[in-house]
Amino acid sequence: TSGRLQALRALMANKTITDGGVQAYMVPSSDAHQTEDVAPQHKRRQFISGFSGSHGMAIVTVASAALWTDGRYFLQAEMEMDCNWKLQKEGLPDTPKFSEWLAEKLQVGSRVGVDPFLL
């Protein structure tokens, strides 16, 4: 996924495309209909991370990439993702929430992008 992450990060940094740049981008599992079992052409999170499970949220910053998923998929995610990704194990005590992780990684005033049709 190195090449895909590099391409996404280049788009995030392109101030013309993103109207000033974004410092993080969120890629959920769902499609525009909030379906977890999405059609192949809507598997954005799998495309960027390599993780094929039905539940997860990927977040990419300039320097980090992390994926949150639940206990059903811990082993699968570890096997499918490469060294560019950090697995965040939902439901475990030491796992930060998305917002906590973003607050730790980003400076105040940073922009976080997401496709609004996927929320």
More confident: 24 or 14: 24
pTM exceeds 0.75, yes or no: yes
CB-count exposure of residue 27 (10 Å: 0-12, 13-18, 19+): buried
Res. 8: pLDDT tops 90: yes
- What was the pLDDT predicted at 40? 86
CB-count exposure of residue 48 (10 Å: 0-12, 13-18, 19+): buried
- Calculate mean pLDDT across residues 54-82: 97
Position 28 confidence tier, pLDDT thresholds 50, 70, 90: very high
68-84 b/e (C-beta count within 10 Å ≥ 16 → b):
bbeeebbeebeebbeeb
Architecture of domain 1-114: 3-Layer(aba) Sandwich (3.40)
Measure the CA–CA gap between 98 and 117, rounded to whole angstroms: 19
Measure the CA–CA gap between 95 and 89, rounded to whole angstroms: 6
- What was the pLDDT predicted at 33? 85
Domain segments of the chain as ranges? 1-114
